[in-house]
Amino acid sequence: MTERVTVTVPGAHERTPRRKPPDEHSDPGATQVRSLIRSQARLALTTSAIVFLLLAGLPLLFACAPGLSHVRLLGVRLPWLILCGGVQPIWVAAARRYVRLAERAERAFTEPARHE
């Protein structure tokens, strides 16, 4: 079930959208929710940190070792090879890994809730 709530009525008081089940039912335990959010936050921050570190490290590498720019591999200069072909696969892999782990964390949260 998906519910779309659009808070677009101009001039109206800002409302918190309500779900159909009353809140005490739809909120499956504040502690569990907090721990879910914490584990998801950890995962999200780790993945972003990988991206950030790589993006911070590469410029530093080329700035500190300008000699790398003259190394050729397959007839292409190393910075061009790395920047054009080498980094993008890492993004794809990081994204896939994140999706897998985030879904696992959600399953771990949902399944016990289902058997309660």
Partner 1 sequence: MIAVLALALLAASLVGVSVRTRPARASDLYAASREVSPWWNASAISGEYISAAAFLGMAGLVLAYGADMLWLPIGAAAGHVVLLTLVTAPLRRSGAYTLSDFAAWRLGSRTVRHAVSGCVVIIGWFYLLPQFQGAGVTLSVISGLPVWSGGVVVVLAVAALVLSGGMRSITGVQAVQFWLKLIAVVVPGLIFLAIWRLQNDADVARTPYFHRPTTVTAGASAGIQLTTPAVVAVRGVLDGRRHHGERVLLAAGTHRVRSGARLRFPAGAAVPHTSRLALLRGDRWATPFAGGRNHPLAATYSVLLAVLLGTMGLPHLIVRFYSNACGRTARRTASLVVLMLATFCLFPALFGALGRLYTPELLMTGETDATLLMLPHRILPGLAGDLLTILVATGAFAAFASTSCGVVVAVSGTLSQGFGGGTTRFRLAALVTMAVPLVLAALTCAPQSTALITLAFSVAASSLCPLLVLGVWWWRLTPAGAVAGVLAGGGPATAAGLVRILSGQRTGWLGMLIEQPALVTVPLGFGVMIAVSLLTRSSVPAHTSRAMARMHVPEEATSERPA
First-to-last C-alpha distance (Å) of the chain = 20
Instruction: Tell how many helices (H) and how many strands (E) occur in the chain.
Output: 4, 2
110 lies in the binding site for partner 1 (CB under 8 A): yes
DSSP state of 75: T
Minimum CB separation of residue 73 from partner 1 in Å reads: 14
For residues 73, 75, 81 and 86, what is the CA-based torsion angle, rounded to 10 degrees? -60
Footprint of partner 1 (CB under 8 A): 1-8, 10-11, 14, 16-17, 19-21, 23, 25-28, 30, 33, 36-37, 40-41, 43-45, 47-48, 51-52, 55-56, 59-60, 62-63, 66, 69-70, 77, 79-80, 83-85, 87-89, 91-92, 94-96, 98-99, 102-103, 106, 109-110, 113-114
